[in-house]
Amino acid sequence: MWRLLASLIGHQAPTPEKQAEREVKDLRMDLFQAEQQVMHAQIRVDYYRARLAFIEDVARNGIEQVSDQRKGCREEREYAVRPGFKLQPAQSNSFERIVGVGQNG
C-alpha cells in the first residue's frame, strides 16, 4: 500500500519538465493575447487617423464639399491599410496550435 502511494506521489510530483510544459502553455496564451491587443491597437490607430483626416478636410473645405467629394468617389474609394498590415484568414486550429492543446507528450 505504501509503495503504491509513494509511486503515485512520485509520479505526480511537479518535476521541472512538467512545470516547464505548463509554463510554455501559459506563455503561449500570454503571447497570443498580447498579439491580439497589438492588432486591436493598430485598428484603433487607423480608425482615428481616418477620422482625423475627415475632420481636417471638413474644417479646411467645408462639409458640403467634403460630402460631395465622398459621394462622388464612393465606388472608387479603397480603404487605405497601413503598409505591412495584412489580414490573414483564420485557421480553425490556430488556438490549439498556440496553446499546445492536443499535443502528445
- The pLDDT tens digits of the residues spanning 60-92 come to 989 888 888 878 765 554 455 556 655 555 554
User: Which pLDDT value is given to residue 71?
Assistant: 80
Q: Give, in order, the Cα–Cα distances in Å from 70 to each of 25, 41, 58, 62, 63.
A: 48, 26, 11, 12, 10
Report which of residues 20 and 81 the model is more confident about: 20
Q: Which cell is 50 given?
A: 481616418
Report which of residues 1 and 92 the model is more confident about: 1
Per residue in 25-55, pLDDT tens?
999 999 999 999 999 999 999 999 999 999 9
All residues at 6 or more sequence positions from 28 whose CB lies less than 8 Å from its CB, including other chains: 98, 99, 100
| Closest listed residue to residue 99, CA positions, set 2, 36, 26 | 26
How many beta carbons lie within 10 A of that of residue 41, not counting itself? 10
Q: Are 98 and 32 in contact (CB under 8 A)?
A: yes
User: Which pLDDT value is given to residue 29?
Assistant: 95
Give domain limits for the chain.
Answer: 17-81
Q: Which cell is 38 given?
A: 497589438
Q: How far apart are CA 20 and CA 96, in angstroms?
A: 18
